[in-house]
Every structure is written in structure tokens, then in C-alpha cells.
Amino acid sequence: MHRFTALLLLHLLACAEPSSRATAPDSWVVPLFSNADGRNFQTHLSGDAETPPRETQAQGNVKFQLAKDGSSIEYQLMATNIDNIVAAHIHLGPPDCQCPVVVFLYGNAPAGGGRHDGVLAEGVITQANMIGPLAGQPLSALIDQMRAGNTYVNVHTNDGVAPTNTGPGDFPGGEVRGQLDHGSAMDQ
């Protein structure tokens, strides 16, 4: 996981505003892993990918790695420059829909939780964690959807003050989102 964290940090630094970019030491630039066996999925999360798009400086990254035997998926979700996170999920659907939740990654947390920068959640997904339209199905049903590009990760925020959707830190329907990718982006 340490190499993943270093690579993620480099990715987040690269996405920062040009005036605030820092450079990472050359020793941090290491190959993460190969996706030759098709077990890795990842995405960058941004407000632009939300439906509808959100104006926010928040961003994130998530990585999933399927166990060799296919019985579980290990994940790490990072989020930065974001306030009041209440939940994060895998949703089943294409990029342009607000589709059903199939796995909880984080939450439910109370509204108004304040600022977050760093690892939000990490853990292991098994068949028992699947809900919604994938409840009761084998883990392979989720994996098939991930491989087809038909899943996305969404981080939801809420400041706890009515009305909702007033700006960053207050998007209960999702502030940052990314469609999972199972391709060359993970190859090293």
C-alpha cells in the first residue's frame, strides 16, 4: 500500500493548481503494479464528473484490487480539499446517470463533519457487502460491471444546514465522482 499512497500523492500534486504544485522526490516515482492480470481498477474523482457537474475544488482517487481467487476486492479511497463528507459508495451505472448504490465504502457519517484531506476509507469488499440491485448476487456480478465500465464512485457531502446543494461541502447527491477504469491507466 505504501507505493500506492506515494503514487496517489504524485497524482494529487499533479492535479493541484499550477501555482501550488510541489514536486515529489524522485525516490517516490516507483511502478505501482501491473494490470496485466486484469485485477486492478481505479478512478480520479472530481466535481466535473458529477451529474450535474459541481463547482468544487474537492478531488479524490480510489483504487481497487481484486484478490487472485476473486473472493474479495481490497480498496483505498482518498479525498482532499473537501468538507462535510457523509458517505461514499460504488454506484451501478454509466457516467451520465444518478444510479443506485451497490456498495458502501464510507459512512453514513453525521452532517457538518468539517474538512477532510487524505485517506477517507480502506477495506475489503466481499459478496456480503453488496446491496441494491446486486444484493444476493456473487461478487463476480460486481466485478463484471466494473470491467464493463458500468460503475462509478461518488463522495457525498452535507453541511447539515437547510437548504441543500448550496455549494462545496453541501452536495448530498454527490460532490465528486469518477467512473471506474479497468484499462491502461493502471498499467505500469
Q: What is the mean pLDDT of the chain?
A: 84
Question: Percentage of the chain with pLDDT > 70?
Answer: 77
Total residue count of the chain as it appears in this document: 188
Whole-number pLDDT of residue 35: 56
Q: How far apart are CA 164 and CA 90, in angstroms?
A: 22
**Which residues have a Cβ under 8 Å from the Cβ of 20 and sit 6 or more positions away?**
none
d(CA 71, CA 86): 28
For 2-16+40-186, give the CATH class. Answer: mainly beta
Residue 153 has pLDDT above 80, yes or no: yes
Residue with cell 516515482: 29
pLDDT digits (tens, 9 = 90+) for 59-112: 999 999 999 999 999 999 999 999 999 999 999 999 999 999 999 999 999 999
pTM over 0.85: no
Q: Which residue has the cell 463484471?
A: 144
Domain boundaries of the chain, sorted by first residue? 2-16+40-186
Calpha distance 131→12 (Å, rounded): 31
Report whether 62 contacts 42 (CB < 8 A).
Answer: yes
List, for residues 17-48, the tens digit of each pLDDT value: 444 433 333 333 333 444 556 789 999 999 99
Q: What pLDDT is attached to residue 183?
A: 59
Distance CA 104, CA 97 (A): 18
* pLDDT beyond 80 at 16: no
Asked which of 30-44, 153-167, 170-184 is least confident by mean pLDDT, the reply is: 30-44
Neighbours of 74 (CB within 10 A): 15
| Residue carrying the nine cell digits 476473486 | 70
How far are the Cα atoms of 58, 86, 133, 155 from residue 175, in angstroms, in the given order? 8, 11, 23, 6
**pLDDT of 147 strictly over 60:** yes
